[in-house]
Structures are given as structure tokens and as C-alpha cells.
Structure 1
Amino acid sequence: MKKVIIVDDEAPARKLIKEFLESHKDLVIIEECNNGVDAVKAINTFKPDLVFLDIQMPGLTGFEVLQRLEEMPQIIFSTAYDQYAFKAFEVHAVDYLLKPFKQERFDEAIQKIMDNDKGYLSQLQNLVSGLNEQETYLTNILVSVRNKLINIPVDTIIYIKADGNYARLILEKDSHLTSYGLSKLEEKLNTQQFIRVHRSTVININAVKEAYSYPSSYELIMTNGDMVKVSRSYLDNIRKLIV
């Protein structure tokens, strides 16, 4: 059995894919998403084998979703815009379905998955790894809050703490849960500005108001008034800032 997630901002498109999947009993739908941010969270949480992925969506495009995944499933793009076809195959998607498509064309895409389980997956993993190496640091983060997306400039983040399997952005007056784990999010941020001070905490050094030194630790007072403790393992990250 293969786990499937459907990602498309249009409900009729998601419904059509579900109908076409009914004849493929070994493919089981475990989640549906209507935007890129929720897609990243769902894929990283449920680790599907296959994702039907729209390209133009609120929050993140399908290509941006790929660059934020912890593990790479097989991808079948589905979109109404044929100008993305070349780029889709550049990222070695299993197939590219141009809307509107029929059951026969859909079944062809599924057959490619069955014939090329390992080959396509390996190519896609290598491609996304290359994309990530070329990425610049994040300057903004989109987070999902109920039925909308909020744009958070990274400079406004006071610190970031682990919250279960995800990371919570602590701002001046509120906080927001992201779809990333702490370590994965840390990789996306400028290491000259965001540093690890605890296994569960990354701080924005520009948001440190005061620091209190103790024999084997530091306590940092942030601009929002919160106190963040520096654990023994990360003392050098603070000491190297002292001049």
C-alpha cells in the first residue's frame, strides 16, 4: 500500500483526483491540503509515498514546497498552466498532468510510479538537494493561522523554540507555530544572526537586550522581556560574541 497526499487549492481538482484513485486500491489517501504551507506540514508529518501537487497555490508554490521537505516522496504535478511543464521535468517529477485530464492519462502517471519507484525518487532527492544548496537565507516565513497565512519577517523574530516536532516563532507580542522542526528551520536562517543557545532554542542575536554571566551558563534577557538560558553545550556560541 502507498500513502497519498493531494495538494491543490481547488476543491473540484482534489475531488477529481480522489475519484480517479478509486480504481487504484493500493493507493490510500491520508490527507488533503489546499495551500503550500499546509502541504509542507502534512508531508513532513505523514511521510507519504506519493503526492499529487498543484503548482500555483497560496503561500508556497509547488516548487517551493519541494525545497522545504524533510524527506522526498514521489511527485506528480497537476496544474492548469502548461508553462510549468519544462520546470516540472527539470525537477524529475514522475509526471505532469495538465488540467483538465482524463482517467486514462491519470492511469498512465500511476503506471510510471509502479515502473520507476526507485529511479525517479533518487533523481528527485538529488535535484532538491541541489536546490537547497543554492538557496539563500530566508528573509520571510509564511505561517498558517486558521484559514489564512501570515507573513513573518525573520528580523522580527525574537527567538525560536522547539514545540513538539515543530518550531515556534516567538515575536515581540505573540508567537506562531511553523511547519518545520527546529533544526531544519535553523538551516534556512542566517547563522550570523540566528544562533543555537540550547538544544531546544535558537535566538536572534539582534534581539538580546542583556546577558547575565554565571560560572557555567548565561541568561539572556530578550527585547520582549523573556529570559533564555544558554546551556553548557552552547556557551562558546555566546562567548565568541564578547569583545
Structure 2
Amino acid sequence: MKKVLIADDEKAGRTLIKEYLEDYPELVLIAEVNNGVDAINEINRFKPDLVFLDIQMPGKTGFEVLNHLDEIPKIIFSTAFDEYALKAFEVHAVDYLLKPYTKERFKVAIEKLNSSNIKIEALARSVFMEEASYPARVLVHFNKKLITIKCEEIIWIEAYGDYSKIHTKDQVYLSNFGISDLEKKLNPQIFLRVHRSSMVNMDRVKELNKYGKSYDVTMENGDVVRVSRGYMDAIKRIML
């Protein structure tokens, strides 16, 4: 049995880790905290074997937490920011999970716990390389916090300056990523770019209507998304 502590200021982030930990009965969660100061106190108190550690937290950052520990346990960083990856491996982190990550990516991190000879270069590549699998859930901004939604709940995505709006049946969420970045992150077998400013979930398309030499896509929530001429080939490829 290994004792586990989660330090993440976002409830959604802690919830996702707890959900994924259910597949590993040998990893027992003993505490969770939402700021750096409590992380220091609880890690020194409980002496966990493994800590899932966010980087940007109130009070102390993840790296500052490490500087105040009596003993440093195995660390798996879990963060939405990729710019700290190399620094994380310099402090001998087991892995660096870049949010949002899949259950399969989480499994890879857990498997590394049993590896005693982890190379920094290999770990860095694992953060940035494109994975064959695509996330079933994503973290999105809502009311000054991050929450998880299932990708299948996304109806369509709209460009919003350097950001994107994610439309679901009941809500519109804001993503810090531009639409071109989201296009790379989401399954191309499901999400189809139909305009430089929009991408649709093909499972949520109700109908296509001819509009001049192009089409309008009516989504299941009633929203109408224009298909631009530059993306007509993508539509034609799925027509039978």
C-alpha cells in the first residue's frame, strides 16, 4: 500500500485524480489540499509516498512546497501549464501530467512509479509528444474555476479572439486555447472544422442545409453554424 496526497487548488482537478485512482487499490488517498501552505503541513505530517502536485496554487507554488518539506516523496506534477516541465524533471519528478489528460496518460504516470531509472529527456518527450489517444474529458473555465466536461457533451466550438467558446446543451464555456489548438487536441473522427471560426461535433449535427454554394449546419441544440467554402472538401468527404 502506498499513501497518496493530492495538492491542487481546483476541485475539478482533485476530483479527476480521485476518479482515476479508483483503478489502483494499492494507492490509498490520505489527504487532499487546495493550497501550497496546507500542502507543506500535510505532507510533513502524513509523510505520503506519492503526491500529485499542482504548480500554481495560492500560498506557495508547487516548487516552493518542495523547498519546505522534511522528506520529499515521489512527485507527479498535475498542471495546466507546460512551461514548467523541464524544471519539474530537474527536481526528479516521476512524471508531468499536462491538463487535460486521459485515463490512459494517467496510467502511464502510475506505471513510472515502479521505474527507478527515469531519464529526464524521456519524461520531457512524454509531456509534449502527440498521443494516439484523445481525451474523453476536458477541463474548461466556468465561474472562475475549472470543471470537467465530457467531450461527447460538446456540440460545437466557436473561435473567440485568441480563445474559444465551447457550446454544450445547457452552457457555454471558455477555453484558453484557440480553435486551431483545440482542433489538434480533439478526436478528428468526431470534431470537424467547418470554418476558420467554428468546429462541430458530427455526433451532434441535426442537418445540413444548402446555402448558395455552401451549407449551414444545424446542431441538435438549434444553433446554426456556417460552412465556409474553404472547408467544403471536409464536408464532401463524409457525404454518401
TM-score grouping bracket, smaller chain normalisation: 0.5 to 0.7
TM-score for both structures, normalised by structure 2 = 0.55
- 2:205 paired residue among 191, 195, 208: 208
- 1:159 paired residue among 156, 160, 172: 156
2:89–2:123 contact (8 Å) kept in structure 1: no
In structure 2, list runs of 5 or more residues that go unmatched.
1-7, 10-33, 41-54, 67-74, 97-119
2:156–2:198 contact (8 Å) kept in structure 1: yes
Once residues 78 and 129 of structure 1 are traced to their aligned partners in structure 2, the CA distance between those partners, rounded to angstroms, is: 16
Letter in 1 for 2:37: P
- Structure 1 residue aligned with 2:131: 134
- Structure 2 residue aligned with 1:230: 227
2:134–2:186 contact (8 Å) kept in structure 1: yes
- 2:79 paired residue among 60, 65, 77: 65
- 1:188 paired residue among 185, 188, 200: 185
Letter in 1 for 2:211: Y
How many equivalent pairs are there? 163
What SS is found at the alignment partner of 1:233?
A: helix
Deviation at 1:161, TM superposition (A): 0.9
Residue 87, structure 1, aligned to residue 94, structure 2 = yes
1:158–1:170 contact (8 Å) kept in structure 2: yes
Letter in 1 for 2:221: N
Q: Structure 1 165/62 Cα, relative in aligned 2: closer, same or farther at 3 Å?
A: farther
What SS is found at the alignment partner of 1:185?
A: helix
- Counterparts of 1:19-168 in structure 2 under 5 Å? 33-34=56-57, 52=63, 63-65=77-79, 69=82, 74-76=86-88, 85=92, 87-88=94-95, 126-130=125-129, 133-134=130-131, 136-168=133-165
Q: Structure 1 73/214 Cα, relative in aligned 2: closer, same or farther at 3 Å?
A: same
1:53–1:75 contact (8 Å) kept in structure 2: no
Once residues 213 and 221 of structure 1 are traced to their aligned partners in structure 2, the CA distance between those partners, rounded to angstroms, is: 11
Q: Structure 1 74/52 Cα, relative in aligned 2: closer, same or farther at 3 Å?
A: farther
Deviating runs (4+, > 6 A) in structure 1? none
Deviation at 1:52, TM superposition (A): 4.0
TM-score for both structures, normalised by structure 1 = 0.54
Deviation at 1:219, TM superposition (A): 0.5
Deviation at 1:167, TM superposition (A): 1.6
**Percent identity between the aligned chains?**
34
- Structure 2 residue aligned with 1:105: none
Q: Structure 1 193/75 Cα, relative in aligned 2: closer, same or farther at 3 Å?
A: same
1:166-219 Cα distance to aligned partner (Å, 9 max, x none): 221101122000232211111111111101001111100111111112342110
Letter in 2 for 1:192: Q
In structure 1, list runs of 5 or more residues that go unmatched.
1-6, 16-31, 36-50, 56-60, 80-84, 90-119
Deviation at 1:162, TM superposition (A): 1.2
Deviation at 1:77, TM superposition (A): 7.1
- Structure 1 residue aligned with 2:35: 10
Q: Structure 1 176/197 Cα, relative in aligned 2: closer, same or farther at 3 Å?
A: same
Once residues 88 and 242 of structure 1 are traced to their aligned partners in structure 2, the CA distance between those partners, rounded to angstroms, is: 43
Q: Structure 1 62/217 Cα, relative in aligned 2: closer, same or farther at 3 Å?
A: farther
What SS is found at the alignment partner of 1:33?
A: coil
Once residues 195 and 53 of structure 1 are traced to their aligned partners in structure 2, the CA distance between those partners, rounded to angstroms, is: 42
